[in-house]
A and B are shown apart, each in its own frame.
Chain A
Amino acid sequence: MTPLLDVQGIHTYIGQFHILEGVDFSVGEGEIVALLGRNGAGKTTTLKSIIGLTPPRSGEVVFDGEILRGKHTYDIAARGIGLVPEHRAIFSALSVEENLRLAERRKGDLERKEEFIFGLFPDLKRLINLPGTNLSGGQQQMLAVARALVPDNRLLLIDEPSEGLAPVLIEQMMEAIRKLSSQSTVLLVEQNFIVASRLASRYVIIEEGVSVAAGDMADLVNDEATIRKYLGAA
């Protein structure tokens, strides 16, 4: 079976800096895959390269059998890829509802998905008319995830969902990601190894812009040598 997402040896530059120097991995339909690695290893850049914000200079990103090279970000996203960026990049000038509305690709997307989204994040329903600026950090993070769920995205790129959240909210967020993965495939960047190991079924480790290891999460959890080598003390 061909994977939903196939990243083939991509090299990405930001300005003159060679950030990704060969990243290879694939994600099958319905999986949750965690991208692991130290700060600055190139995990976020990998997500941005997939969706075309920092297009790779060489190598290919293949989504659902289609090569994404040369396509604009909006075009890539419209094929069914949603990005949940780090630092909860919601639109603070827009209300919660407008944030969700903006993500509609067809009229009525929000109405169709409303039940599912508010099932995952009941708080958002209560806050629907509030401006984005008035949300707490956790609420912003929930909105950022919810926004990616409004259209029928087949692949979600989620960057650091647990960053800066209180433990109780991390649990809630993990629960939500587990539930939403029944509808979409998830590629997850996560610094918190415990969170990543409990969510993902497979992992890819990126070290200084190169994908150096990949495999089943169950194996990695018991492989202390690898964890220490690439991720520091777990």
Chain B
Amino acid sequence: MTSTVPTSQRSTDASRWLKANRGRISLAAFFVFVLVYSFVRMDTDDFFITIIRGVAVGAITFLVVSGLSLILGLMDVLNLAHGELYMLGAYVGWTIYVRPDTFLDAATPIALVLSALALLPLWRRITSQWPAGKWPRLVVPVVSIVVGLVLVAFLFTKFPLSIWNPDVFTEAPTNDALALDAGTQVVPEHAGFDGISPLLGVIGMWLGGAVLGIGIAAAVERKAEVVAPKPERSSYVISAGVAVFALVVLAVNNPLTEWWYGLGTTQRFFLALGLTTVLAFGLGMFIEVVFIRPLYERLLYQMMMTLGLAFILTETVRTIWGRPSFTMPKPAAFNGTGEGCPGEGLGGLFSGCGTIKLFGSRVRMYNDVLIIVVGVVVLVAITLLLKKSRLGMTIRAGVQDSEMVETLGINVRRVFTVTFGLGVALAALGGVMAGPALGLSTGMGASVLLLALIAMAIGGLTSFSGAAVGAVIVGVMQQLMIKFGSVGISLPGLEEPFKPSPAIVPVSVILLMVVVLLVLPHGLFGREE
């Protein structure tokens, strides 16, 4: 604003700005009031630690909601399986971390099936040349899907797999976690192929996947008389690469297991974190191509599909890892005890202690510091990706109008696939990060999804920065309410301070969402359509 503008006009500008932003201003005032009231009501160190914990909950929520909002914004898909993918991430991460031998054993057969499925474009090309009619269009797909599944399932039991058994107490996964934490874990004995030759097992597994892939390809709805395009070379390369990976893992299974068990918990944890994120990226792309893409333009069906997927994932996890919840040991570098612990002040951050004293509060290195750091790193990385890269540019444009992006000659579907993979990878990363802090349970997905949906609504559905702010607001609000459960809120007209019971905590967050949406129907950062 230049000085030549008359004062009267400046004030109208200011009042116009005030009027346009009155909803945001009143909400900001409300949040400030909540913070100030909490500060007055609580001890200073209590207040401080509650805010930090709130931000940590916000960081985990953010990892889930960032993918959710990217996917919703770009593809109009509300992925109700996102919470369960977060849960799956936690369980897979736990497995790679605590039982790398099981992960390595399972990797070979799974990779063989995936190698065959990666040729789906080839199978589509073949099946699209089949004549129309009941047999090739209906009977063959059903039969080959069933045969493929049976073959894969049967051979899976023949592959060597050393695994826990949730139904037997002494072999339950809980014990593995406790053993790793106590440093008493021994390398489990390696099993061999069960009654078949490895060569037969490997070939059979791949063929099972191929039969399954042909069934899926034939079952997919076919556009009239159009022969599917020739598969791109990349699908052959991916397929071959995955197959080679499977065989290499099979060949060096034993020495690799020995090496892996020799690593410290910190290395094992970050190895698990990275591997799970990469695997989740692939799984996300697979889900998009197989389950979401055929249902484009049918939004309700897509949502039902993701809901169904959520239930299937929950039951799968229950079957493999069992119903009881269990723990995930904290990596040693963030769990030190003994001499010199807890560390003091900011220098304590690098002391390797499990807890440090900061501003008079006990701050837990893993739960309160590492999680926030990872959240911030992801926030910065994704922001840079969106702002600086061509992919990010395409995503931002696609959020606004994906058809128009396509008319520029850009294959938007491929961007959809990558974005879905990215969203699932972030959710899984969140799951692995949450594991050591919150423990693993089959209900963890549903509870984080609720928080994420609320954070998304508060932030403005498709706004990425809004999702980040919403997640922190939700996390802090939740932790403050928990704290007020013991401190109490003094309300006028009440003799005793009102103490919210634990059951009220989730309700209070939902209430917050209702208030925000009543004041700002598009959320804090949402744009009006």
- A residues whose Cβ falls under 8 Å from a Cβ of B: 51, 53, 70, 72-75, 77-78, 82-83, 85, 89, 91-94, 98, 101-103, 105, 147, 151
Whether the Cβ atoms of A72 and B406 lie closer than 8 Å is: yes
Which of B399, B408, B413 is close to A102, meaning CB atoms less than 8 Å apart?
Answer: B408
B-chain residues with CB within 8 Å of residue A147 when the two chains form the complex: 408
Would A70 and B226 be within 8 Å (CB), given that A91-B400, A101-B393 are in contact? yes
Which of A70, A77, A94 is close to B397, meaning CB atoms less than 8 Å apart?
Answer: A94
A160 to B390, CA, bound (A): 29
Q: Does B407 contact A (CB under 8 A)?
A: yes
Which of A74, A83, A85 is close to B410, meaning CB atoms less than 8 Å apart?
Answer: A74
Q: Least Cβ distance of A74 to chain B in Å?
A: 5
Whether the Cβ atoms of A102 and B394 lie closer than 8 Å is: yes
Q: Which residue of B lies closest to A69 (CB)?
A: B226
Q: Does B411 contact A (CB under 8 A)?
A: yes
Number of residues in B with C-beta < 8 Å to the partner?
21
Which of A51, A83, A92 is close to B400, meaning CB atoms less than 8 Å apart?
Answer: A92
Q: Which residue of B lies closest to A105 (CB)?
A: B409
Whether the Cβ atoms of A94 and B408 lie closer than 8 Å is: no
Q: Which of B219-269 contact A (CB under 8 A)?
A: 223, 226
Whether the Cβ atoms of A73 and B393 lie closer than 8 Å is: no
A93 to B395, CA, bound (A): 10
Q: Which residue of A lies closest to B223 (CB)?
A: A70
Whether the Cβ atoms of A53 and B399 lie closer than 8 Å is: no
Q: Which residue of B lies closest to A70 (CB)?
A: B226
Which of B405, B406, B409 is close to A151, meaning CB atoms less than 8 Å apart?
Answer: B409
Q: Least Cβ distance of A14 to chain B in Å?
A: 12
Q: Least Cβ distance of B292 to chain A in Å?
A: 17
B-chain residues with CB within 8 Å of residue A74 when the two chains form the complex: 406-412
B-chain residues with CB within 8 Å of residue A85 when the two chains form the complex: 404, 407
Q: Does B401 contact A (CB under 8 A)?
A: yes
Whether the Cβ atoms of B407 and A91 lie closer than 8 Å is: no
A-chain residues with CB within 8 Å of residue B396 when the two chains form the complex: 91, 93-94
Which of B390, B407, B409, B411 is close to A53, meaning CB atoms less than 8 Å apart?
Answer: B407
A89 to B404, CA, bound (A): 7
A83 to B407, CA, bound (A): 7
Which of A70, A92, A98, A151 is close to B393, meaning CB atoms less than 8 Å apart?
Answer: A98
Interface string of B398-425 (1 = CB under 8 A from A): 0111011111111111000000000000
Q: Which residue of A lies closest to B386 (CB)?
A: A93
Q: Which residue of B lies closest to A144 (CB)?
A: B404
A74 to B398, CA, bound (A): 13
Whether the Cβ atoms of A77 and B406 lie closer than 8 Å is: yes
A-chain residues with CB within 8 Å of residue B405 when the two chains form the complex: 102
A-chain residues with CB within 8 Å of residue B223 when the two chains form the complex: 70
B-chain residues with CB within 8 Å of residue A103 when the two chains form the complex: 408-409
Q: Which residue of B lies closest to A51 (CB)?
A: B407
Most buried by A among B226, B390, B403, B409: B409
B-chain residues with CB within 8 Å of residue A151 when the two chains form the complex: 409
Q: List 12 A-B contacts (CB under 8 A).
A: A53-B407, A73-B403, A74-B412, A77-B406, A85-B404, A91-B401, A101-B390, A101-B393, A102-B390, A102-B393, A102-B394, A151-B409
B-chain residues with CB within 8 Å of residue A83 when the two chains form the complex: 407
Q: Least Cβ distance of B527 to chain A in Å?
A: 9
Q: Least Cβ distance of A148 to chain B in Å?
A: 9
Whether the Cβ atoms of B400 and A73 lie closer than 8 Å is: no
B-chain residues with CB within 8 Å of residue A92 when the two chains form the complex: 400
A70 to B225, CA, bound (A): 10
A101 to B401, CA, bound (A): 16
Q: Least Cβ distance of A33 to chain B in Å?
A: 19
Q: Least Cβ distance of B407 to chain A in Å?
A: 4
A91 to B398, CA, bound (A): 9
Q: Least Cβ distance of A67 to chain B in Å?
A: 12
Q: Which residue of B lies closest to A107 (CB)?
A: B390
Q: Least Cβ distance of B383 to chain A in Å?
A: 14
Which of B390, B401, B413 is close to A89, meaning CB atoms less than 8 Å apart?
Answer: B401
Q: Least Cβ distance of A20 to chain B in Å?
A: 18
A147 to B409, CA, bound (A): 12
Q: Which residue of B lies closest to A147 (CB)?
A: B408
A92 to B393, CA, bound (A): 12
A78 to B411, CA, bound (A): 10
Would A53 and B394 be within 8 Å (CB), given that A74-B411, A103-B408, A151-B409 are in contact? no
Q: Least Cβ distance of B393 to chain A in Å?
A: 5
A-chain residues with CB within 8 Å of residue B408 when the two chains form the complex: 74, 77, 82, 102-103, 147
Q: Which residue of A lies closest to B227 (CB)?
A: A70
A151 to B399, CA, bound (A): 23
Q: Least Cβ distance of B4 to chain A in Å?
A: 21
A-chain residues with CB within 8 Å of residue B412 when the two chains form the complex: 74
Whether the Cβ atoms of A53 and B403 lie closer than 8 Å is: yes
9 extra interface residue pairs, beta carbon distance < 8 Å, beyond A53-B407, A93-B400, A103-B409: A78-B409, A83-B407, A91-B397, A91-B404, A92-B400, A94-B393, A94-B396, A98-B393, A102-B397
A-chain residues with CB within 8 Å of residue B401 when the two chains form the complex: 89, 91
A51 to B405, CA, bound (A): 12
A-chain residues with CB within 8 Å of residue B411 when the two chains form the complex: 72, 74-75
Q: Which residue of B lies closest to A101 (CB)?
A: B393
A13 to B405, CA, bound (A): 22
A-chain residues with CB within 8 Å of residue B393 when the two chains form the complex: 94, 98, 101-102
Q: Which residue of B lies closest to A57 (CB)?
A: B224
Interface string of B117-152 (1 = CB under 8 A from A): 000000000000000000000000000000000000
